[in-house]
Amino acid sequence: MPATTGAGAPHGRAVDPLFLAYPLRALADAALTRARELGVTHADFRLERVRSASWRLRDARPAGTTDSVQLGFAVRVLLDGAWGFAAGVDLTTDAVARVAEQAVAVARLSGGISRAAGSKDLVELAAEPVYPDATWISSYEVNPFEVPDAEKTALLADWSRRLLAADGVSHVQASLLTVQENKFYADTAGTMTTQQRIRLHPEVEATSVDGRTGAFDSMRTLAPPVGRGFEYLRGTGWDWDAELAELPTLLAEKMKAPGVEAGVYDLVVDPSNLWLTIHESIGHATELDRALGYEAAYAGTSFATFDKLGSLRYGSGLMHVTGDRTAEHGLSTIGYDDEGVATQSWDLVKDGVLTGYQLDRGMAALKGLGRSNGCAFADSPAHVPVQRMANVSLQPAADGPDTAGLFEGVEKGLYIVGDRSWSIDMQRYNFQFTGQRAYAIRNGRLAGQVKDFAYQATTTDFWGSMAAVGGPQTYVLGGAFNCGKAQPGQVAAVSHGCPSALFRNVNVLNTQQEAGH
């Protein structure tokens, strides 16, 4: 069996034998054969096993654990230009054939309703090469599900105790989320893929409480969720010891910091904060289903409408943003999407101009854009694939400065680190973001922390104000496990890489003063 692995993955890493023990090919053959017999123009079969586990500690003591498995299959068909979908959990050939019949019945019903309503729109799929026998495994060294639970709990407890021993730390919450996702896909064109990916999200948050005044604040680790294995918690890709050692001092400084003076500032935004601004103002805005108005009920549409492709001035000429489902350790990285499309990297914004969108096969064909760029995803076997976000990333400047170099020339500014709260309108245009911490910049040098800050702008004004982009040495791949979309709601994990960057003349609010109003 030909096999491909994720970039950097240990050669020969095998798909979980528990998953391969299911009669994958026999089930797919039964579903696709029945769908063909009923006259479909396309059918695909997807069987998934998704195992998710979590551990939570409060003040170094266990506060809860979970360990769950989703197992099932889905059949999707295209009949007379209309989609049909059905899912099941009975892994027998008779059962999957019946579910295929249900999917065809849904397609007939939905097509009939559309025609009765006068619609002449027919679903078509963009062409894609056939991948008859492909295997893909993500890049990791140690599967976290092969690590004893006691070791995970002990590590989180050790981190918690280190923080609790520091002056000024009143409470500590620590958590770890882990996911192993296995997918088997086959379609009537002849594509057949088997995939396995691992992702995890560790997080530690320290809280300080002033016993005299009752004032309190907290600060989290900046370590992002990643498409790695347990080696991440052992120090591969992140220096946990260094971050945990400095966290109490940073939190103590924040407790004593003055509130920011509202006004206009130059901002140097760290990747630990900027990734979320990218996610909300670029990632969602460049999903083509949003731009076309198909995704409107869940968090709105997009200001970056299709008529602006190739002409919208999204930001400054320094702005180069890519969509990428191939980035090593990315949370949205996969070998083949849930429509059998080999994943790719492409430009979304080049030289500050909107040049592309995120696509699935239906959207690509609808707008004559050629091949899909592999953005179809379903978060469970019970859900239909929808267009979901790639790893959307701002590219660094090849010869760009380090973060300290971006401070030079800033007379009055803020250096913003870590994500916190955010707000953005339905069209991904007007927004406000806060952060874990911020430092005043005076005459090119850091001048201590300030707090109660939020920066506010429109998407195009903010990215248009980008005056400098850091070099590759500042680039970090951030991200989240919980990007929501669709109805019924689906959740996807996605990463966003970026360097540090400088933005000129951005409006900054004092959130306490605003709350007082």
> What mean pLDDT is predicted for residues 333-358?
98
**Interval 323-339 mean pLDDT:** 98
pLDDT number for residue 12: 53
Q: How far is CA 514 from CA 73, 261, 262, in A?
A: 50, 12, 10
Q: What is the pLDDT of residue 9?
A: 43
Instruction: Give the C-alpha separation, 159 to 147, whole Å.
Output: 18
Domain ranges of the chain: 17-256, 263-516
- DSSP 8-state symbol, 231: G
Q: Is residue 225 helix, strand or coil?
A: coil
Q: What is the pLDDT of residue 517?
A: 57
DSSP 266-312: EEEE-HHHHHHHHIIIIITTTBHHHHTTSS-TTT---SS-GGGTTT-
Distant-in-sequence, close-in-space partners of 465: CB < 8 Å, separation ≥ 6: 316, 457, 503, 504, 505, 506
The span from the CA of 144 to the CA of 136, in Å, is 18
Share of the chain above pLDDT 70, in %: 97
d(CA 330, CA 376): 16
Choose the weakest-confidence range: 102-106, 161-165, 297-301: 297-301
The CA R_g of the chain, rounded to the nearest whole Å, is 24
Structure tokens at 452: 């109660």
What is the spatial distance between Cα 424 and Cα 276, in angstroms, rounded to a whole number?
11
Mean per-residue pLDDT for 51-55?
Answer: 98
Higher pLDDT, 63 or 120: 63
Are the C-beta atoms of 473 and 402 separated by less than 8 Å? yes
Dump pLDDT digits (tens) for 185-216. 999 999 999 999 999 999 999 999 998 898 99
Average pLDDT, the chain: 95
54: β partners = 66, 177
- Flag the least confident range among 35-49, 76-90, 217-231, 294-308: 294-308
**Confidence at residue 514, expressed as pLDDT on a 0 to 100 scale:** 72
pLDDT for res 119: 85
Share of the chain above pLDDT 90, in %: 91
Q: What is the CATH number of domain 17-256?
A: 3.30.2290.10
Provide the pLDDT confidence category of residue 145 given band limits of 50, 70 and 90.
very high
pTM for the model stands at 0.96
